[in-house]
Amino acid sequence: MKNFLKLKLTAATLLIASCITINVYFPAGAAEKAADQIIDSVIQGGGAVRGTPQTPPVSPPTTTTPPTTQINSFATQPLHRVAASLIDALIPRAHAQTEMNLDVSSPEIRAITASMQNRFGQLERFFDAGVVGLTADGLIDIRDISAAALPDRALIKRLVAEDNADRNALYDAIARKNERPEWAPDIRRIFAQRWVERGAKPGWYFKDLDGNWKQR
Amino acid sequence: MARLTRLSCIVPLGFSAALAAMPQAVLAIDRFELRIDRIETPAAVLKDAHLKVSIDQKTATPKGSLRIGSTPAGPISMNLALREAGSQGLIFAGDRFRFAGGDVGFNASLIGRRWTFAVTASAITSESLLELSRSFIDIPAGFSAQGQLDTVLQLAGRTTAALPETANLEFRGSNLGFSNAEGSVAAEGIDLDVRVGLSSDVNGKMTVSGYLMSETGEALLDNAYLKLGSHPTRIGLEGELDANRLKISLLEIKQEGLISATASATITQPKNFLEAPLDIQKLKVESATLSLQELRFPAVYTSYLQTALAGTALDSLESSGRISGTLEIVDNAPVSGNLVLDDLSLRDAKGLFFVDRLRGRINWVPEVDEPMEPSSLTWDAGGLYDVRGGASSLRLVLRGLSAALLEPARLPVFDGAINIQELRVTDAGAPAMQIQFTGEIEPISMSEISKAFGWPALGGFVTGRIPRVEYKGDTLIFDGDLEAEIFDGIVRGSNIKLSDPFGRWPRLSADLVIDNLDLETLTSTLEFGAITGRIDGQVDNLELFAWAPVSFDAWLRTPEDDRSRKRISVDAINSIANVGGNAGSGVASALQMGALRFFSRYRYRQLAVRCVLEDDVCQLSGAPIANNRYYLLEGAGVPRVDIVGNSGRIQWSELLRQIAWQIETGGTFSIQ
């Protein structure tokens, strides 16, 4: 009986000890949500990236200290104090996103996303035609250049080179924002997955892990 | 099974031997039949050949038929007629027959020891021609061709020689196309006119001359895209072929509006050119001289260069001008070259750089330790990012992948200059590329710089020293501090790094120290309102991403030991109060009321503002007082004006907009 109790206690201790273990893990679930938002925003070219603080209109302050202007007449008061609240537009703090551990809110990420949005319209028809496809490491690649007319082939090469430069910069910027450079490969992997699952239209091509082209 | 004599790769010569054997046989008998299972020639393997000849009793003329069951381009079935030409001659003609998708006719003659052979074919398919060519040229699998060609082949020779004395080949076709398996080499709608003539002497040495012309269609050769309609092309060749050595005395390439070039070369390959298919990879250029008479921009850039440069800093250039030059090659490697630039103007569509009317001569040798001619360049104007400069020139030395300035150069910039003391590039274009640069700034007025960068007009000058700059690992690193004298003070940048400087997303990081700037000079040209006194400051961990600030910790404050007159005008107080969106109407009007209206300026003890920028939000503060309050302006004396704020956060982009508005208009800012 005693032994059994000891065993239970030991087990309980071990269990507690394992719960306390501190582990920095890659938040895959949150990363998927973040990737989805960025992908949506690139494709729809206008959807807001969540996490951006809303730009408040400049307006009289809504918060605590209204501007005060106190003037005492020259004769009675040596000290004149003009208090003006410089900060009127107190923005609401970014809501604590408790379930979202991957921060994709930074001016860099927004700038890169905007660049990808601008290009997407041109790339879309080449995805549709099977000329380009998505790769397993979050980039894009030429699958069949002969499906494109001769004059377009040079343009396609340029678009692919530019988009890949943006994509690489994006994954780097996300890792940098979260101060976790070691997350970069995982971020890529999640984006690659979500591009296929969410970003790709039926009929688009993507490369599987063995490097073979598959069609959605 | 018969194996005919060894043949040149150009001519199915076996006919001459067969013809030599035939006449007697034909004349002596009234029927002749020959079956050959297999004929191997370098051109093709023919199988199941059946020749029937008989003498027409009435006319005493031989006639017959020739059927070949299998050739690379399908079976052949034709009728033949032979007739005598004098006592020593024989003429051999065939009716037109279907072959290779088109109509073929041929005739041959043997008179004394001289023979001729001619084939004319119309509308044969490119696919068949491709098949037939595979024995002459190693064509990769997956290569396809479309379209029809007319062709004429004429050969003549003597029965005493193994090779024909002369050979002429003509191709003409329109709406041709071809493509390799990957689609990287392709053409559509091409018209083609090709003529090649060969003649050989008794020793087996051959002279070649020919041309190729095309004026319609489009072609893609990896990264080069050509519209032949815009650039009719003519390529001409004169040369000599001697066993395994090809001596090109003239190769001429003319593409209208694009290129005009000539070349001469001696090329060898391991095997005799006439005995084995051409293997491009085994060719060796023993010596060659390429001479570019003219390369025209923008056509050369858009057709040949732009796609190859995709993704680099040079991939969206507008260009004009011309280049000419020469290149010497020995043993497959270039040994010297030069380029002459004639009013070459380049402008990056992304605004990264431009240069107007670049002229000069660039001399190049590979990495050898020999004295050489320096290169010199002159231009009318140039710029990098928004920094623009005027006419200048420099002299440099190029060797291998390195370039170095021969002497310091002065580049005028706005109304001042940048003096380059040292500029050296090694391993140009490679990932290991290194750039070293040292220079200094001759005074440039701030009003010019402000105009160029779109800032509100600032007063004063910039001058200073640029420390050694190194480029390594795609990052420009400033080895030392960049100091600029400005507004009678100094701004010093340290730990400056610019990563991805030529790419899409350059990132600049630096720490700045602002030392004793004169506010009067700074505010004198602004509508902000006058402030006198000095200002110190620092910007720690400044990060610019694509040239926009994304994070920093910035302080501006009055120096502690500043003994100068510190005055601030009503307008400036108004401006500061306005920034932040408070209409501030109360401030300005209150200050004008009553006795205060006699004061246009107020004394102050200190100015202080701090902004910590992170994720587009600026955390503002100043000289702390208590309870989250701070002075932006701490007044002094009587009457005294303070500007006090609450610690708060403001959208960075919004703050910039308000400051800019205030600086430019100085008015009362209000948004309903």
The DSSP output letter for B137 is B
β-bridge pairing A205-207 and A213-215: antiparallel
- Classify residue B600: in a domain, yes or no: yes
A107 and A118 fall within a common domain: yes
The count of domains in chain B is 2
- Pick the more confident residue, B619 or B289: B289
- Classify residue A114: in a domain, yes or no: yes
Q: Are B46 and B71 in contact (CB under 8 A)?
A: yes
- Classify residue B279: in a domain, yes or no: no
Q: Where are the alpha helices (DSSP H) in B176-290?
A: none
Chain B CA closest to residue A75: B595
- Classify residue A62: in a domain, yes or no: yes
- Residue with the two structure tokens 């894009």: A140
A118 and A175 fall within a common domain: yes
Mean pLDDT of B438-466: 85
Rounded to 5 degrees, what are φ and ψ at A177? -60, -35
Its domain, for residue A140, covers: 33-54+103-215
Return the pLDDT at A49: 41
Return the pLDDT at B9: 25
B651 and B598 fall within a common domain: yes
A47 and A82 fall within a common domain: no
Q: Is B21 exposed, middle or buried (0-12, 13-18, 19+ CB in 10 A)?
A: exposed
| C-alpha separations of B441 from B235, B485, B581 in Å | 52, 10, 39
B413 and B533 fall within a common domain: no
Residue B303: CB atoms within 10 A of its CB come to 24
B591 and B661 fall within a common domain: yes
B544 and B660 fall within a common domain: yes
- Classify residue A1: in a domain, yes or no: no
- Taking an 8 Å cut-off on Cβ atoms, the answer to whether B654 and A74 are in contact is no
B532 and B475 fall within a common domain: no
Q: Is B602 exposed, middle or buried (0-12, 13-18, 19+ CB in 10 A)?
A: buried
Return the pLDDT at B22: 47
- Classify residue A96: in a domain, yes or no: no
A121 and A177 fall within a common domain: yes
- A113 backbone φψ class: left, alpha, beta (φ>0; ψ -120 to 50): alpha
- Classify residue B256: in a domain, yes or no: no
Q: Name every chain A residue with its beta carbon within 8 A of the beta carbon of B634.
A: none
- Residue with the two structure tokens 């040596």: A78
- Classify residue A18: in a domain, yes or no: no
Displacement of CA A40 from its chain's centroid (Å): 11
Q: Are B671 and B581 in contact (CB under 8 A)?
A: yes
- Classify residue A22: in a domain, yes or no: no
B469 and B550 fall within a common domain: no
Q: Name every chain A residue with its beta carbon within 8 A of the beta carbon of B654.
A: 55, 58, 89
- Alpha carbon of B316: minimum distance to chain A alpha carbons (Å): 10
Q: Are B163 and B11 in contact (CB under 8 A)?
A: yes
End position of a domain, from candidates B469, B486, B503 = B486
- Classify residue A37: in a domain, yes or no: yes
A190 and A131 fall within a common domain: yes
Task: Give the pLDDT band (50/70/90) at residue A77.
Answer: very low
Helices (runs of H) and strands (runs of E) counted in chain A: 5, 6
The size of chain B, in residues, is: 672
End position of a domain, from candidates A91, A112, A141 = A91
- Classify residue A6: in a domain, yes or no: no
List of residues 6+ apart from B239 with CB closer than 8 A: B207, B208, B209, B246, B247, B248, B249, B250, B251
- Classify residue B623: in a domain, yes or no: yes
Mutate which: B582, B610, B627, B641, vs A, most A CBs within 10 A: B582
Report d(CA B21, CA B631) in Å as an integer.
116
The DSSP output letter for B187 is E
Its domain, for residue B544, covers: 514-665
Return the pLDDT at B347: 95
Is the Cα torsion angle B40, B44, B45, B46 positive or negative in sign? negative
A123 and A82 fall within a common domain: no
Angle between helices B652-665 and B570-578 (to 10 degrees): 150
Q: Are A204 and A133 in contact (CB under 8 A)?
A: yes
Lowest mean pLDDT among B23-32, B76-85, B487-496, B501-510: B23-32
Mean pLDDT of B154-170: 87
- Alpha carbon of B81: minimum distance to chain A alpha carbons (Å): 48
A110 and A70 fall within a common domain: no
The count of domains in chain A is 2
B640 and B536 fall within a common domain: yes
A62 and A49 fall within a common domain: no
The DSSP output letter for A182 is G
Instruction: Tokens for B649, please give them.
Output: 């956060």
Q: Residue B21 carries which side chain, given as an amino acid letter?
A: A
- Pick the more confident residue, A95 or A5: A5
- Taking an 8 Å cut-off on Cβ atoms, the answer to whether B581 and A105 are in contact is no
State whether residue B612 is helix, strand or coil: strand
- Taking an 8 Å cut-off on Cβ atoms, the answer to whether B179 and A146 are in contact is yes
A155 and A63 fall within a common domain: no
B369 and B469 fall within a common domain: yes
A78 and A159 fall within a common domain: no
Lowest mean pLDDT among A1-10, B505-514, B590-599: A1-10
Instruction: Give the DSSP letter string of B242-262.
Output: ETTEEEEEEEEEEETTTEEEE
Report d(CA B120, CA B153) in Å as an integer.
6
Report d(CA B295, CA B453) in Å as an integer.
35
A84 and A180 fall within a common domain: no
B469 and B554 fall within a common domain: no
Residue A6: CB atoms within 10 A of its CB come to 10
Does pTM top 0.90 for this prediction?
A: no
- Classify residue B415: in a domain, yes or no: yes
Residues B532-557: tens digit of each pLDDT: 999 999 999 999 998 889 999 999 99
Residues B471-525: tens digit of each pLDDT: 888 899 988 888 888 888 899 999 999 998 888 888 999 999 999 999 988 887 7
State whether residue B500 is helix, strand or coil: coil
β-bridge pairing B392-399 and B353-365: parallel
Closest CA to A25 of A215, A212, A186: A186
A76 and A161 fall within a common domain: no
Q: Which of B184, B504, B654 sits opposite A89 (nearest CB)?
A: B654
Report d(CA B654, CA B656) in Å as an integer.
5
B590 and B482 fall within a common domain: no
| C-alpha separations of B84 from A63, B8, B26, B54 in Å | 117, 28, 11, 14
Residues A53-63: tens digit of each pLDDT: 433 333 333 33
Residue B467 has pLDDT above 50, yes or no: yes
Instruction: Tokens for B242, please give them.
Output: 């001697």
